[in-house]
């Protein structure tokens, strides 16, 4: 299940026991809509192992700015509170699976 990342819950999720994946997106973004079903599928597949969240860059500009997000979709992979990997732009399911597996290694 995906969670909505907000300024209120971000720090607790970032410092949580499970790795965190954040999809930075916007409603008007075509590539974001292409990636959304893959992110949803990964959230289901890795439920209980990884927290998967979505952050609307227009609603939470300060979070996007904190990570220097300039292009969307950008998906950050966070482990131990630190960004360990990212994907910028639309990628296929195989690439996302590879990144999720690496996050759990």
Give me the active site residues, please. Answer: 29, 32
Catalogue the long-range contacts made by 94-100 (C-beta closer than 8 Å, 24 or more residues apart).
Answer: 96/38, 96/39, 96/42, 97/42, 99/75, 100/21, 100/42, 100/45, 100/46, 100/50
**Numbers of helices and strands, H then E, in the chain:** 4, 5
The most distant pair of C-alpha atoms in the chain lies apart, rounded to whole Å, by 34
């Amino acid at each position: 299940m995906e969670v909505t990342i907000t300024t209120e819950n971000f720090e607790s999720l970032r410092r949580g026991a499970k790795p965190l994946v954040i999809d930075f997106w916007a409603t008007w973004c075509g590539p974001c809509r292409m990636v959304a079903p893959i992110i949803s599928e990964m959230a289901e597949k890795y439920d209980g192992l990884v927290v998967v969240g979505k952050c609307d860059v227009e609603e939470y500009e300060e979070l996007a700015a904190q990570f220097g997000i300039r292009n969307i979709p950008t998906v950050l992979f966070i482990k131990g509170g630190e960004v360990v990997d990212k994907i910028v732009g639309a990628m296929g399911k195989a690439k996302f699976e590879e990144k999720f597996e690496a996050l759990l290694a």
